[in-house]
Homo-oligomer: A and B are copies of this chain.
Amino acid sequence: MDKIRVVKIGGNVIDNPEALSSFLANFANLEGNKILVHGGGKIATELSKSMGITPQMIDGRRVTSQQDLEVVTMVYAGLINKNIVAQLQAKACNAVGFTGADANAIVSDIRPTQPIDFGLVGDVKTVNGKAISGFVEQGVIPVFCAITHDGNGQLLNTNADTIASELAASLVDFYDVELIYCFEKQGVLENVEDENSVIPEINPSYYEKLKAEGKIHSGMLPKMTNCFDAIKKGVKSVKIGSPEVIRNENQLCSIITG
């Protein structure tokens, strides 16, 4: 089978125009099939503030009101996504921007209101891997933002890490899939204070040990769950590291294994 890479970038790249430009040059140079998934960064919060909206957070996660959904739809699917697409096109990379609504690519259920009502947030239900691979076969480089829909006309704010994991899993019947999470560190750190403590490989039993020891916690937990979910569903390789990972095959990073 052909190989495809699903690469996810977050706020540390999106919020820094130079880092973004440099990342996109490296992404454009990546040979073979590829898909980009991007988060939102701070721009949505800044726009909300300039409109006089105060984002409501519960447990560090954004509650998405109707007004918040409009803001993230504008920022993620409009401003960020289309600027990325235009920059990739300038580098001869045939990007097309997608939300989950486009081509009915990703359908979500609105998250249950118990125990916490997060508002217009979606949990991914189905990914149309066949449609997405159809675009890829046509020479398209899909660029996904973190918006999905419920299939009944409602857009939903959706976690970008989960989108990347579910997208990767949806393609295993068509490709050997590699999932790469780029974030602000070189990999999963054994000691969060020590940038040099990158753990080169994490399998499920070692992960349980790291959790029990309190070495992996808070924001890393859902990211790790997304990694193991992808592996369980047949994704061949999952890496967590800095954006450099896509430029240099030998770049230090954490490899997640089954």
* Interface residues, chain A, with chain B CB atoms under 8 Å away: 47, 50-52, 70, 73-79, 81-83, 85-87, 89-90, 94-99, 101-104, 134-135, 138, 140, 147, 149, 151-155
Contact = CB atoms under 8 A, between A and B. Distances in A.
A74 B85 contact: no
Contact of A151 (B52, B74, B90): B90
Contacts of A78: 73-79, 81-82
Select the residue from A75, A86, A99 with max chain B CB neighbours within 10 A: A86
Task: Report the copy number of this chain in the oligomer.
Answer: 2
Nearest to A76: B78
A152 B50 CA distance: 30
A97 B101 CA distance: 9
Given A77-B78, A78-B78, A87 B153 contact: yes
Select the residue from A51, A78, A85, A153 with max chain B CB neighbours within 10 A: A78
Given A74-B74, A76-B78, A97 B86 contact: no
A83 B89 contact: no
Contacts of A155: 82-83, 86
The 7 closest A-B pairs by CB, nearest first: A78-B78, A74-B74, A90-B153, A74-B78, A86-B101, A77-B78, A86-B149
A74 to B, nearest CB: 4
